[in-house]
């Protein structure tokens, strides 16, 4: 299945690194060749030592990028956008011939062994350019943009917006025909696989980017959920939004990327990290 670059931002996540690394290799081995790229930001635990150990054991399959341009006191989404953009630039410079890349979070969401049968079936499909996956509970409303609700849920009055958005994604998952995918404008849920040529020109942005949303969809969203507000959890801080939204929106409207959610579960819940 060609080549894939698996990108993982890491910071203070040493408890997850062993399982994340194992799963990244497992996903990588589904391709004819692969690389794992860690982007390391200053941590206060053993994260750096563990990814260096993994690199030594990887037979040249792991690249480590260390943050040489700290972002200072800015929102977390700005830090994550910088990390992901750095990995995309690494792909442009070193792996532009790789047909695929993946973004993978280094947390409990991706620690349980993946469903490889599902992954292999999805990789044979031609009806997506970005594919993310469901969980036993669909928690990642932060990255989610549906066709009728393109703006972040957290930029509307709460709790009304939460219920509107959770009802929206639940309806799409529950009514999706068997064997079909759910088309959206943005989604992540901890792991996404991308066709490189559709996304290589895009970039992440941790700020609210209403300019990337078609005016007709923005008006529809406002009619449904109310006026757009500052980020709900930090209304007095700098503009912020989930960094995935700008990345997906740009590719969708500039390069025609098809972004989909698979209603099946790739990474089951990990009992080790359940409450």
pLDDT at 218: 97
Residue 74: per-residue pLDDT = 85
**Which residues on neighbouring strands pair with residue 104, listed in sequence order?**
191
pLDDT tens figures, 94-139: 999 999 999 999 999 999 999 999 999 999 999 999 999 999 888 8
Q: What are phi and psi of 227, to 5 degrees?
A: -70, 145
Measured from the Cβ of residue 125, the count of other Cβ atoms closer than 10 Å reads 12
Sites in the chain below the pLDDT cut of 50? none
Nearest-5° angle of CA 26, CA 31, CA 36? 60
Q: What angle do CA 265, 266, 267 make, to 5 degrees?
A: 100
In this predicted structure, what is the pLDDT of residue 68? 76
Closest CA to 251 of 129, 132, 95: 129
Say which CATH class 3-269 falls into: alpha beta
Domain boundaries defined on the chain: 3-269
Can you read off the two tokens belonging to residue 28? 């990588």
What is the structure's pLDDT at 178?
95
Strand partners, 77: none
* Structure tokens, 170: 């639940």
Both tokens of 198, joined, read: 């559709």
Q: Write down the pTM of the prediction.
A: 0.96
């Amino acid at each position: 299945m060609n080549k894939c670059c698996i990108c993982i931002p890491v910071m203070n996540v040493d408890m997850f690194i062993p399982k994340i690394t194992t799963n990244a290799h497992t996903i990588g081995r589904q391709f004819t060749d692969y690389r794992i790229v860690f982007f390391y930001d200053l941590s206060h635990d053993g994260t750096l030592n563990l990814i260096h150990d993994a690199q030594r054991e990887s037979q040249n399959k792991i690249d480590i990028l260390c943050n040489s341009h700290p972002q200072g006191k800015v929102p977390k989404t700005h830090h994550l956008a910088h990390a992901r953009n750095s990995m995309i630039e690494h792909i442009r410079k070193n792996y532009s011939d790789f047909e695929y890349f993946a973004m993978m979070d280094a947390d409990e969401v991706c620690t349980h062994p993946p469903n490889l049968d599902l992954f292999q079936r999805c990789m044979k499909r031609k009806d997506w350019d970005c594919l993310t996956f469901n969980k036993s509970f669909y928690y990642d409303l932060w990255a989610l943009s549906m066709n009728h609700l393109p703006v972040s849920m957290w930029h509307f009055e709460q709790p009304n917006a939460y219920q509107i958005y959770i009802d929206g994604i639940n309806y799409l998952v529950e009514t999706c025909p068997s064997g079909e995918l759910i088309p959206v404008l943005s989604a992540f849920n901890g792991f996404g696989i991308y066709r490189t040529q559709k996304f290589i020109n895009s970039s992440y942005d941790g700020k609210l980017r209403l300019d990337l949303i078609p005016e007709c969809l923005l008006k529809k969203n406002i009619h449904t959920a109310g006026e757009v507000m500052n980020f709900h959890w930090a209304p007095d801080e700098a503009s912020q939004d989930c960094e995935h939204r700008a990345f997906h929106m740009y590719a969708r409207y500039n390069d025609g990327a098809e972004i989909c959610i698979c209603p099946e579960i790739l990474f089951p819940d990990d009992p080790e990290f359940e409450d």
